[in-house]
């Protein structure tokens, strides 16, 4: 297990993952995922879909989840920097309705493993960001759910710089509050 440093977050099942990065004058090489290393760390999920998006500074996506086909995700930033957030929606979890946020960037090369049963979103902090993620289940458009990004009950501390203009999709501005969906 030498290629990755698995850092447990305060929320059970959520991990910040630091891949080993081998660099020299030509550039660098790193593994972003290795089933055997992840399995040895207790992460035995199989990924079935890879996605990538590009967003400009101030774009806030989320908080999204799948209702009946929850997806575990391994997320990372290829270019730029984002503030990535996961919210625990697992009934009976000791950290139900708690959130965790982490900076993911091309510089720090960190990944975040988000188990199924979480809502997920991110805010782009750099001029633009390319975001890539692996999913443990396929996306089902009819199964989408979401929580409004600024829900006062969750009280997520988004790092919104003074003067930063947020760009949020019309769909995401109409998402419900946590208490309307789960309480």
Of residues 15, 35, 64, 140, which has the active-site annotation? 64
Report the residue count for the chain.
Answer: 183
Of residues 33, 133, 139, 140, which has the active-site annotation? 133
133 is catalytic: yes
What is the distance, to the nearest Å, from the Cα of residue 97 to the centroid of all Cα atoms in its chain?
16
CA distance 154 to 35: 33
* CB-based contact 5:17 (threshold 8 Å): yes
35 is catalytic: no
89: Cα within 13 Å, side-chain hemisphere: 27
Q: Which two three-digit tokens encode residue 61?
A: 């996506």
Quickly count: other Cβ atoms within 10 Å of residue 115's Cβ. Answer: 20
Radius of gyration of the chain (CA): 16
> Do you find a cis peptide bond into 63, omega within 30 degrees of 0?
yes
Segments in the chain forming alpha helices (H)? 35-40, 170-173, 178-182
Active-site residue set: 64, 133
């Amino acid at each position: 297990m030498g290629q990755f440093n698995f850092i447990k977050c305060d929320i059970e099942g959520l991990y910040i993952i630091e891949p080993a990065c081998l660099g020299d004058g030509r550039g660098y090489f790193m593994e972003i995922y290795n089933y055997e290393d992840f399995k040895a760390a207790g992460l035995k999920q199989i990924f079935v879909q890879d996605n990538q998006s590009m967003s400009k500074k101030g774009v806030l996506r989320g908080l999204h989840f799948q209702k009946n086909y929850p997806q575990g995700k391994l997320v990372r930033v290829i270019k730029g920097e984002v503030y990535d957030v996961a919210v625990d929606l697992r009934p009976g979890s000791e950290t139900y309705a708690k959130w965790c946020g982490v900076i993911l960037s091309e510089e720090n090369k960190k990944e975040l493993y988000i188990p199924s049963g979480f809502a997920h979103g991110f805010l782009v902090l750099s001029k633009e960001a390319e975001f890539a993620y692996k999913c443990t289940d396929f996306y089902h458009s009819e199964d989408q759910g979401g929580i409004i990004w600024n829900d006062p009950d969750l009280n997520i501390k988004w790092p919104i710089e003074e003067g930063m203009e947020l760009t949020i999709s019309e769909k995401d501005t109409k998402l419900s509050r946590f208490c309307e969906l789960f309480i």
